Amino acid sequence: MQVIRFDHRDTGRSSVVDFDAHPYTIADMARDCLAVLDGHGLGSAHVAGTSLGGTIAQWLGVHAPDRVRSLTVMSSSPMGHDPRPAWARAQAGEPADPDDLPPPTPAFLEHVAAELPPGVESDVALFRVFNGPVRPFDEPAARAMLELALSRATDPAAAANHRRAVWMDAPDLHAPLSSITAPTSIVHGDQDPLHPLAHGEALAAAIPGAELHVVPGMGHVMTSPGLPEEVADLIRL
């Protein structure tokens, strides 16, 4: 089994984009994945994605089904779900709309409101929140990973464009997830501070035959000792 990983546009050593001049969408990022498969001469692959990567994986499952052998969507939310109204209401202390999926946890919203200066310390603090309060946070390993990521990024600040891409609405994002035919596994932590468990449950309910694997104590990232190996065993192949 060969694993292919690559830097999305605006991360690592991939292209840095002037988003204001050339805005891009989830669909564009998904087509980047198809271009990578084409570059390797592969007609299809088992697709696994986490968070934003999970949204891209959903897009591929809906719009490029012949390229997807199986799907594993981790720590994500249903494609087309707009988190902004729930975030705004939560930050303003207003009651939630019953039609909304739950907003991020107070700990995450407090971290965002603090507006820490960018850099390794800010990223470590974010990953501590992402880790959740139950499983131990492996700070040395997280710090080493984040330092490496920053050191090899052409423009570390460019990754913020991903949030702008996520919040750009488009008709293709609202295509029904019920059209996904690939065997699908949904992996979600019950302590996810960004996408609480209801997001994973809604995603599993929307995709025919999807299996939901709830990982006790897991937050939004895999920064607890032994957790990467535990989650790796849940990837659909």
Output the CA–CA distances (angstroms, integers) from residue 62 to 52, 146, 192, in the order listed.
16, 32, 25
Residues assigned a catalytic role: 51, 192, 220
**162-28-111 Cα angle (round to 5):** 10
Tokens of 125: 């603090």
DSSP-assigned states of every residue in the chain: ------PPTTSTTS----TTTS---HHHHHHHHHHHHHHTT-S-EEEEEETHHHHHHHHHHHH-GGGEEEEEEES---TT---HHHHHHHHTTPPPPTTSPPPPPHHHHHHHHH-PPSSHHHHHHHHHHHH-SSSPP-HHHHHHHHHHHHHT-S-GGGGGHHHHHHT---GGGGS-GGG--S-EEEEEETT-SSS-HHHHHHHHHHSTTPEEEEETT--SS--STTHHHHHHTTS--
